[in-house]
Amino acid sequence: MSLATGKDVSVKKSVFWIGVLFLVFVFISATRFGVAELLSISARSEMDSWGKKGLAPTTADVESVGDRIQWAIRFADVNPSHHEDAARLSLMRALLPNVSPAEKSLFLKQGVAEIQTSLHLRPISAYSWVIFLSLKRELNEYDDEFRHALHRAVELGPWESELIVALADIGLSAWDKMPAAEQAIIQQVFVRGMRRNQNQLNQVSRAHREAACAQKAGACQ
């Protein structure tokens, strides 16, 4: 065998093994992303079921979902949906009964960090912006970040019922803390929502009106 032929064989072997390693890498990556997606779907489905049942999840339920979400992030931390799921769970944990003020604050701040990561990866998700708004509301932070998030959520849509009702609820919570420009945006949400969600928006308005009356010791009666 000539020297040139030997070099050709060596190059071909190198190319072959590089190709094999590349395929192994692709397979492992695909497997990791696939497992992460399955974990995320499972966690998301369970969180959805809590809302439908109208029952507070147990500590074991929350920890189980949290573990799945964290594993999904470990397997595919570039997927914004996993960080959005983590933020949503943090918000739920903060609103559970018997949570101390310190725990609530910690959960909310963890949620803010996760949703900011999600928005960095996918800034065009209206749902992520609404989760961010919900976290800021619970922190009582009606600041520039809140106003920016409100603008982004309304600009992006889409206008599904769940999104409209959530924005309306958040908007009324922030109404007296917002300047005229943001109040106009909140009114826009109601105008659009009344076409398809009149009953739900009336319920949101009634709930806020009753809460305001309760704070004033029944002054609205």
Q: What is the pLDDT of residues 139-177, one digit of tens each?
A: 999 999 999 999 999 888 767 788 888 999 999 999 999
pLDDT of 111 reads 98
SS3 97: coil
CB 128 within 8 A of CB 91: no
Hey, where are the domains in the chain? Answer: 13-122, 143-221
Q: What is the pLDDT of residues 7-36, one digit of tens each?
A: 555 655 555 455 545 445 444 444 556 667
pLDDT of 169 reads 92
pLDDT of 25 reads 45
Question: CA–CA separation, 148 vs 169, rounded Å?
Answer: 17
CB 83 within 8 A of CB 121: yes
pTM (2 decimals)?
0.81
Q: What is the pLDDT of residues 162-216, one digit of tens each?
A: 888 899 999 999 999 999 999 999 988 888 888 777 888 888 888 888 887 877 7
Q: What is the dihedral of CA 58, 64, 65, 69, to 10 degrees?
A: 150
What residues contact residue 36 under an 8 Å CB cut-off, 6+ apart?
A: 71, 72, 73, 74, 75, 76, 79, 82
pLDDT of 31 reads 59
pLDDT of 170 reads 93
What mean pLDDT value characterizes the chain? Answer: 83
